[in-house]
Amino acid sequence: MQPSPPLALTMGEPGGVGPDLTLAVWREHKRLGVPPFYLLADPDFVAARAETLGMDCRIRSVSPRDAAAVFDVALPVVPLQAAVSAEPGRADPANAAAVVEAIARAVGDVRSGEAAALVTNPISKQSLYAAGFRHPGHTEFLGTLSAAWTGFTARPVMMLAGPELRAVPVTIHIPLREVADTLTEAMIIETGRIVAADLKRRFALPRPRIAVAGLNPHAGEGGALGTEDRSIIMPAIEALRADGLNVVGPLSADAMFHPAARAGYDVAICMYHDQALIPAKTLSFSETVNVTLGLAFIRTSPDHGTAFDLAGTGRADPSSLAAALRLAAKLVANESAG
């Protein structure tokens, strides 16, 4: 059997901790059990960050096809066309072109077979917005790239996957006051179907157990504390059950994340961003991984942001990036075996 191609890792926001984490993970890749990867970035910029951090790190400018061969002796960096210039701890919209190029190039490498999967370092949405970026975030941009690949439009789904919990928000980057008006039965059904399909295909769970959280306290208390659980969420659950999926809910969100409750399901589908991410990050911040479901390709990412206050200090914890790289490789293996 031919070995799997390396993973493509994007640099993320260059003023953030992405470059620091990448250097740290590469230096400790054997101890961390990290599979071969290459970084899409400016090699000179990466070398300068290594010097700032006081790291003696060999960096090799390569093409994707040559990355695996040099991985054990040097950090493989595939150069970008756009310029990269950033001070640690500061976002600069001038780097937006390079940030976007790295993401698009990495997806292209997966599509061509030069990379097995995509792993992304954190981006600064504010910096990208200032440069004219028109997507709400990473996840939505990747959905556009996936649609261009397949010709089919599908809503990408964010899942936080940790050793103790997998959690999915139905609505993501919208204000809390808009959640109830945005949430629809169709959104929940689509999310459930995407989650079930990816857990089967890439997580090797033949019949995933799905728990659906309610929106309101006590899942609406029979309508006394809000009607959405009864009028929107329950019909969606019934439709998913009609598909043959193993779904329970709506469950009271305040009682579904303790250990005994988590033992009863493989994934929790939640109604909004913080309802899913707070328990996921609280249970295991350093080992939790952001996985995008519903794409034509595998994409993972650390569960944290750019951490500008830690950039260039050497104090950033690379555990989540290492976990993202390991999980991406595992998903590739599961998909190939299936």
Give residue-wise pLDDT tens across range 88-141. Answer: 888 888 888 898 999 999 999 999 999 999 999 998 877 778 778 777 777 888
**Contact at 8 Å (CB) between 272 and 181?**
no
Give residue-wise pLDDT tens across range 304-322. Answer: 888 989 989 999 999 999 9
Count of residues in the chain: 338
Give residue-wise pLDDT tens across range 157-212. Answer: 999 999 999 999 999 888 999 999 999 999 999 999 999 999 999 999 999 999 99
With 80 as the cut, is the pLDDT of residue 2 above it? Answer: no
With 80 as the cut, is the pLDDT of residue 336 above it? Answer: yes
CA distance 93 to 86: 10
Mean pLDDT of all residues belonging to the chain: 93
**Contact at 8 Å (CB) between 249 and 237?**
yes
Return all residues near 238 (Cβ < 8 A) that are at least 6 apart: none
With 50 as the cut, is the pLDDT of residue 1 above it? Answer: no
Provide the 8-state DSSP code for 205.
-
Please give the average per-residue pLDDT across 29-44, as a whole number: 96
Return the structure tokens found at 23.
């250097």
Please, what are the domains in the chain?
A: 1-153+293-338 (3.40.718.10), 164-283 (3.40.718.10)
Provide the 8-state DSSP code for 95.
G
Q: Give the helix/strand (H/E) hosting 283.
A: helix 273-283
Question: What pLDDT score was predicted for residue 294?
Answer: 93
Sheet of 118-120, strands arranged across = 59-61, 75-79, 37-41, 7-10, 118-120, 299-302, 289-293, 157-161, 166-169, 267-270, 209-213, 246-251
Return the structure tokens found at 100.
């976007």
CA distance 331 to 295: 13
Give residue-wise pLDDT tens across range 258-293. Answer: 999 999 999 999 999 999 999 999 999 889 999 999
